[in-house]
Structure formats: structure tokens, C-alpha cells
Structure 1
Amino acid sequence: MPSYRFTAINPAGGLVRGVTEAGSEAEAVDFIRRQGNIPMRTDAASAGLGSGTFEALRRFEFSRSTLRRSEVAHFTRELAVMLGAGQDLDRALRFLDETAPSARVRTVVRSLRDQVRDGATLHEALGRHPGSFPRLHIGLVRAAEAGGNLAATLERIATLMERERALAATLTSAMIYPAMLTLAAVGAIVLLLTEVLPQFTPLFEQNGARLPASTQFLVDAGAIISSYGLLILVVLAGLGVLGWRLLRDGPARTRFDALVLRTPVLGGVLSEVLASRFTRTLGTLLLNGVPLIAAMGIVRDVIGNRAGLAAIDRGTEGAKSGAGLARTLGEAAIFPPRMIHLLRLGEETAQLGPMALRAAEIHEESTRIRVQRLVALLVPVITIVMGAAVAGIVSSLLLAMLSLNDLAQ
């Protein structure tokens, strides 16, 4: 039975460390809770030299001054647990310092604790690490400190970050198989063009014949790739960088982002992602006491689409003027109608925060379904296109072989 190292808080508020045997990590957590302790961290215990070496390699990290998003989410969740257990902020940060999983996290936590002990509030301390803690995080903590519900707010922040990570992971994992399939197919085509087809050229030259037109075209294409492949890649990369710089700012970027949102299949997925991020962040801010106008300003930080930003700015102006947030967002025609309807319902019932979170749940599920459909569509399309390309090359090979056979006769 595997062993698990754990760190927990006992009923007296003290830190407890130990090792327990359990069938799984979940069983180990249940055992810790049955003992009356609050589990903070559980890790599979390493055994032997190989495991120790692996653990050392796993913990090796290049020096960097900022925390990863996953580390910030984990820190936020643990701090919420500590404060919810009745610990004061200084003691909670001390425990997190002692249980930090890496030197980088320990450095940041220690800095936060030192600043808090010097009289800074938590949001002020977080604000001195802008590379690790986004403005959304700091704004929520500031509102929570004013409202006296810091532990609950930290729980919501951790949930928000974990949902964002889950959404990004869904999109990334869904695209892995189509990307690998495309890479393998392109590699096969390049191999046929640069290595297989050129083998037929000497045979035709020896017989004083010409290659069939289709075969000659592919042989020439393979020769260009062999001779100028690296240059072609450099030019394409340069064009990509140039396009990125041209679309990085200004009206062109806004028009491009709006165009992407209107593409038949991909646009639907991106629109759902945009809606889920907007509503999840807005709902979390509103439920933590952040005023609507201030919340809209913070929400801009999580929206990367310029057309979406323009719609949010328009919605903010509408909310200021009394025209209504949902109405002005709907006029922008960027977000899904379902999101607009739910926000309008939230405004009418004075439940904008809860309705925004409800909309986020709906659009996150819709994103998952749309991504599955997109992958289901992409895989056969890629297979058919690449299969047709390979079939065309093979048919040119067969045509060349038949031509050689005719010459031999």
C-alpha cells in the first residue's frame, strides 16, 4: 500500500506533519480528516535513491521572480483554508512559508508575511508582486478586507483560477491530437516529395524520357523544399511576426478579432470562451462587493479579444448612463444572446452577480461541448485533406512507374 506524506492543522491550530498509508490520496485525506485535522497538503512518499533523484529533479526550477498561475491558485486555496480554520493572517502566512513546495513560492510568501507584519494590508502586499498576482486578485482581496469576508473571497478566487485553468486545459488537450495528426501528415508529404519522388528522375534521364507533368511538378516542389526549406521557414516566421505586430494594437486588431468571432465553427467556440470568462469574473467580483463600474474595469484584464474589450467598454458606458449593461452589450453583437438574456434577467431581479455566475456555468459547459464537436470535425477533415494529398503523390508515383513500363516495352 502506498505511503503519503501530509501536512495538516490540528484542532489546537498547530501544524502537524506525518506519513500515512492509504490506497489513494483521497483515502489519505479522509484519514487525516477523521483524526480531526484539516489537511493542507498530501504527497506520495518517495522511496529509494531513484525516487529521491526524481523528486530532486521534479523540484528543480529555473530562477524566476513570479509565480505560475497554478502556484497562485494553490497558495490562495491554502490561505483560505487557514483563515477559515480561525488562524490570523500572520500565522497563516507562516504556515504557508513552512509548507511551501518550492523556493520561489517560499520567497514570495515570506515577502508577503514581512510586509503584513510591517503594517501593510494583504491586498497592498499582493500589489507589490504584480507579476504573480493579477489586478483581479488584488481587487477582490481589497473588497474582502473592507467587507470582512477574506476567507470566503479567497475560496472564490481559487475556484475562479481553477476554472480558468480547467478551461484552458480543455482547449489545449482537445487540440493536441489534431495538431499531431497534421504534423505527421505534413512530415509524410515532405518525405515523399524530398526523398521518394527524386529517385525516379535518374531512371527517366537514362531512358531519354520526360517525367509526366504531374510527377515533374511534384519533383520540382520537392527540390524547392530541399534547397530552400530553411529559407521558406524563416520567411514564414518573419511574415508571422510582422502580422502579429500589425495586429497587436489599433483598429486592425479590433476588426481582426471581430472577424475571428464570426467564423462559422471556431468563432462559436471563442465566443463561448469569451462569455464564460467575462461572466465568471464579473459574477465573482459582484458577489464580493465590488461595484459594477469598478468590476467592469477589472474584467477587462481577463479579456484578450479586442472586439470583446470594445463591447465591454460600451457596456460600461451604458451602465454609467443608466441604459443598462445587458442592453448595451447586446447591441455590440459580440457575446452570445443567451449570456445577454441572463444578464438582463439579473439586472431586472437585482441578482446580477448570481446570474452572471449561472451564465458562466452554462457557457463553460457549452464550451466543452463545442470543443468536442470541433475536434470531431477537425480530425476527419484533416485526415481527408492529408489523405488526398498523399494519394495525389502516390498516384503521380504510379503514373511515373507506368510510364517507365511503357518505355521498357
Structure 2
Amino acid sequence: MPDFVFRVIDRAGAPARLAIDAASEAEAIETLKRRGLILLGTAPRRGASLLALLNRDIGGAPRLGADALADFTRELASMLGAGLDLERALRFAASTAATPRGRAIILAICDKVRDGAALWRALGEAPRSFPPFYVGLVRAGEESGALAATLEDLAELLERNRSLRAAMIAGLTYPALLALAATGAIVFLLTNVLPEFVPIFAENGVPLPATTRLLLAAGQACAAFWPYALALLALAIPGIRLLLARPAPRLRFDRLVLRLPLLGTLLREALAARFTRTLGTLLGNGVALVPAMAIVQNVIGNRAAALAIATAADAARHGKGLAAGLAAARLMPERTVHLLRLGEETGQLGRMALRAAAIHEERARLGVQKLVSLLVPAITIVMGGAIGFIVASLLLAMLGLDALAH
């Protein structure tokens, strides 16, 4: 039988890798659950071929996207809160799914529930759609008899993450488009407008100023080498993705991004918001601190932040406190550390984590607005300066032509 390698949380609360011999991935996951282990995700087998790794990444079962997962969770929570039984609520959620793929996934879960499986077990058989923290929270909700309330908390978590992500993307889209338009306008002037005047100057024997010659050379270079630049870009993008798929380069890249001025501060606020929101939701629904930290470490999305969380989890495991571990890592904002330390001292860590999340979410939104307010004028000034330089260089050459005529 083939072996499947998983990332799990063992009974001591520590993350580990475990290989399971089973006929299928679903059977292997069931074995993990019988052993009382918390599934974090799958891991590539040692010695796996490049083709196998690529098929693992781009193939496999269909999955729910982040938006579809948030919508599904909200609808399921609403239906259960209104008194529907679980199977009917799942069928309603399937009927309102936005895509056939989402409908198929939800109906498959519904069939397993109808056959007697617990909801969290059915969700756990679709790890591409339902991450470990999601399955863990649903399990806690089912075992405590508060599934509807747990799903409400999950829906709020997913919707807040979606709202923050959408705000950041929307805020940064305009500066990106403005920069692209500015670059396109400058390239157009260099490659199409400025060369039209060259024959006029050449016919009249006008010596071109140094700035005009420089711009003409830049335009010729753009016209001659743009196919090669596009080819290089097409090769660089997958190359960079493959490089960042390796742990060490990805860790260095994630650290570098978090240290950037303005953008790094914004990303740290967003990471702190996601970390505290997920941690607070897990703790508030009965998940113990060390397993909750391991789950958050798996879903944070930044290797440097995950390493800091692992350090903090190790400190908490040895009785040193979560806040002390985060302070030693020096990655999370000081506000996060202070609020979590207060939560530990008062015995309200989950509640304080959620309060910290609300603060960081608001600061991240304000950070986006501040960054946009700086980027848009800066890009406009650079674009205006570049176009002004091109026009001034052309006018200098025109003045030479006028002087020659007189």
C-alpha cells in the first residue's frame, strides 16, 4: 500500500510529521483520527518526483475557495440557528452554492453526514477545502453541542479575513494601475512620439542635446528588447515561484517583506490581525492553547511569522507564557504582545486575542489608506517629472532647429 505523509499535532500538543500506510488518503486520515491526532495538512513524500509534486499541487480533488467557504459557513450557521437539522441545512447550502464545483463538494459532505458520519469527520476528508483549524472548530462545536454558535464564530472569522483582504487589495489596486499606466505612457512617448521628430532634426542638420540623445537611445532599447524582456519575465515568474517553494529562500523572503518600510508595517498589522482572530476563535470554542498555536502556525501564511508562533508555542508548552515567546521573536507588533500578556494574566486570553484582532484589523485598514495617500501623489509626481523631462528634451532640440532657421 502507498504511504501518505501528514503534518499533525501529536497528543503532547507538538507538531510532527507522520507516515501512514493506507489504501487511500481518506483511509489514512481516518487512521489519524482514531489515534487522536489533529491533522494540519499533507506533506510531500521523501523522494517524490517533480511530476508527482506538480500533480499534487495542481491536481487532486476540487476545492472551495476562501469566499465560497465563508459563504457556506454563514449559510450553514444561519440554517442551523433557524432550527433546521444538519442534513437539510447542508442541502440548502448546496442549492445556493455559486458554482457546480462547490455544490458537488457540499453534497458529498451531506451524503457522508446522512450515512452517519459526524460533520467534522466529513469535512476532514476534504482537506483542500476545509483547513485544519476549520475542522478542529467544527469538532469542538459538535462535541460541546454548540455547533450553530461555533459556525457563527467561524463565519465571523472568515468574513473578517475576507473583508481585510479585500480592503488591502482594493486599496493597492489603484496605485498599481496608476504605476502601470505611467510606465506605459512613458514607454509610448519614448518609442512612438520622440522618434517621429528624428528625421526632421536629421534633415536640417540640427545637433541633438545630450538629454535628447539619451532618451532616443532609451526608446530604441525599449523597442528592440521588449520581446526579450517579456520572455525573461515569463521565465522569471515560475522560476521565482519554484525558488520560494523551498523553505530557506521563502523564509528569507518573508522576513524581508515584513521589514520593508510602510508595506512591511502594513503586512505585520494584517498578520497580527489574522493571528489573533484565529487564535481567539479557537480558544473561545474550547481548543487548548498549544494545539491552537500549532493550527494558527499552519494557516498564518508567512514563514517568518510561523516560526515566531512556533517559538511562542514552545515557550507556552514549557510554562513560560505565550506573550513572552512572542516578545522574544520580535516579529509581532508590541500591542499584540501587551494585550496577550494581559489576557494571560487575567485568564481571558481568548477574549483579549479577539480584542487585539479588532484593533489590528482597523489599523491595517488605516494603513492601507495611508499607503495609498502616499503612493498616489508619489507616482503622479514621478510620472509628471518623467514626461516633463521628455518634453523639455524635445523642446531643447526644437529650439536648436529654430536657431538654425534664423
Q: Where on the TM-score scale, by shorter chain, does this alignment land: which range?
A: 0.7 to 0.9
Alpha-carbon distance, 1:84 to partner: 1.8
Distance in 2 between residues matched to 1:91 and 1:203, nearest whole Å: 78
CA contact (8 A) 1:276 1:361 kept: yes
Alpha-carbon shift at residue 99 of structure 1 (Å) = 4.4
* Greater relative contact order, per chain length (Cα 8 Å cut-off, separation 6+): 2
**CA-to-aligned-CA distance 1:253-296 (integer Å, 9 cap, x gap):** 32332222222211110110010000000000000111111111
**1:182-215 deviations in Å (ceiling 9; x for gaps):** 1221111011101111112112221234322111
Q: CA deviation at 1:100?
A: 4.2
2:214 to 200, 203, 217: 217
Identify the match of residue 307 of structure 2 among 290, 295, 310.
310
| Aligned: 1:109 with 2:87 | no
Q: What is the identity, as a one-letter code, of the residue corresponding to 2:202? A: E
Aligned alpha-carbon RMSD (Å): 1.6
Closer, same or farther: CA 390–99 of 1 in aligned 2, 3 Å: closer
Q: Check the 8 A contact 2:298/2:306 in 1, yes or no.
A: no
Cα deviations by residue, 1:113-167 (Å, 9 ceiling, x for unpaired): 1111222110111112222222221111111112211100001111111001100
| Pairs within 5 Å for 1:142-291 | 142-291=139-288
TM superposition shift of 1:83:
1.7
Distance 2:262 2:98 in 1: 42
Give the deviation of 1:178 after TM superposition. 0.8
With the length of structure 2 as denominator, give the TM-score of the two structures.
0.82
Identity %: 55
Q: Which residue of 2 is the match for residue 393 of structure 1?
A: 390
Instruction: Assess if the C-alpha contact under 8 Å between 1:201 and 1:211 holds in 2.
Output: no
Taking a change above 3 Å as real, the CA distance of residues 310 and 101 of structure 1, as seen in their structure-2 partners, is closer
Give the Cα separation in 2 of the matches to 1:248 and 1:111: 32
Trace 1:44-63 onto structure 2 (pairs within 5 A).
none
2:237 and 2:93 map into 1 onto residues whose CA distance is 44
Give the direction of change, closer, same or farther, for the CA distance of 1:100–1:241 in structure 2 (3 Å limit).
closer
Q: 2: CA distance between counterparts of 1:266 and 1:97?
A: 39
Q: Cα deviations across residues 194-250 of structure 1 (Å, max 9, x unaligned)?
A: 111111211222123432211111111111111221211222343344344333333
Find the counterpart in structure 2 of residue 69 from structure 1.
66
Distance in 2 between the 1:103 and 1:235 partners? 38
Shift of the 98–245 alpha-carbon distance from structure 1 to 2, 3 Å rule, reads closer
TM-score, normalised with respect to structure 1 = 0.81
* 1:21-60 to 2 correspondences below 5 Å: none
Instruction: In structure 1, list runs of 5 or more residues that go unmatched.
Output: 1-63
Q: How far does residue 85 in structure 1 lie from its aligned partner after superposition?
A: 2.4
- Check the 8 A contact 1:274/1:303 in 2, yes or no: yes
Indicate yes or no: 2:361 matched with 1:372: no
